[in-house]
Amino acid sequence: MLNKTILASALIGLSFSALSGEFKLTSTDINHGDFMPKAQEFNGFGCTGDDKSPQLKWTGAPAGTKSFAVTVHDADAPTGSGWWHWQIINIPASVTELKAGAGDKSGKFKPKASQQIENDYGVAAFGGACPPPGHGAHKYKFTVHALSVEKLELPQNSSGALTGYMINANAIDTATIEALYKRD
């Protein structure tokens, strides 16, 4: 009886959108479980890629979504806390796609009203993959977050950790593509 009660409580706690699996993230440039092309490799730190953010498109946002945030994180980075490659917040709810290159340093291709947070390379832009040589394949989680607020109010020069906290505190649902990259 106790196991049935625990199971029922766990199921009641799940949102309808989490059960239905409607919120989806797709890309024409990267695929879940596949290695990313050189276009998504960083240009620096010994890497020679194009440092270009991939095209990302999402569908099925849950009711109540007022804005989106997109994050790219490498939990395999040998830092103790992973590596933030990109955080872009305050994407209007009417936007459902970021074109390839939207995360460039100029900011001219990002959605109006959105804000790029400084990544762990020290730049408010997309920073491509650049795992240490011989470190094996790293997993890069590209995640779109449906948020319950129109705008995240963050101090200037917010850290990746604070930004991640505020995103997670206001997330209704998420959709992720986990792509891979390695340097031999």
Its pTM stands at: 0.88
Q: Which helix (H) or strand (E) holds 47?
A: strand 47-48
Mean pLDDT of 25-41: 98
Q: Domain extents for the chain?
A: 16-181
Whether the per-residue pLDDT at 41 is higher than 60: the answer is yes
Say what percent of the chain tops pLDDT 70. 89
What is d(CA 170, CA 166) in angstroms, rounded to the nearest whole number? Answer: 6
CATH number of this structure's domain 16-181:
3.90.280.10
Question: Which band of pLDDT confidence, cut at 50, 70 and 90, is reported for residue 156?
Answer: confident
Own/partner contacts of 101-105, CB < 8 Å, gap of 24 or more, are: 101/52, 101/53, 102/53, 102/126, 103/52, 103/53, 104/52, 104/53
Average model confidence (pLDDT) across the chain: 90
CA nearest 174: which of 64, 66, 68, 97?
68
What is d(CA 183, CA 163) in angstroms, rounded to the nearest whole number? Answer: 29
| Per-residue pLDDT tens over the stretch 89-138 | 999 999 999 999 999 999 999 999 999 999 999 999 999 999 999 999 99
| Per-residue pLDDT tens over the stretch 43-99 | 999 999 999 999 999 999 999 999 999 999 999 999 999 999 999 999 999 999 999
What is d(CA 137, CA 67) in angstroms, rounded to the nearest whole number? Answer: 32
Return the pLDDT at 6: 36
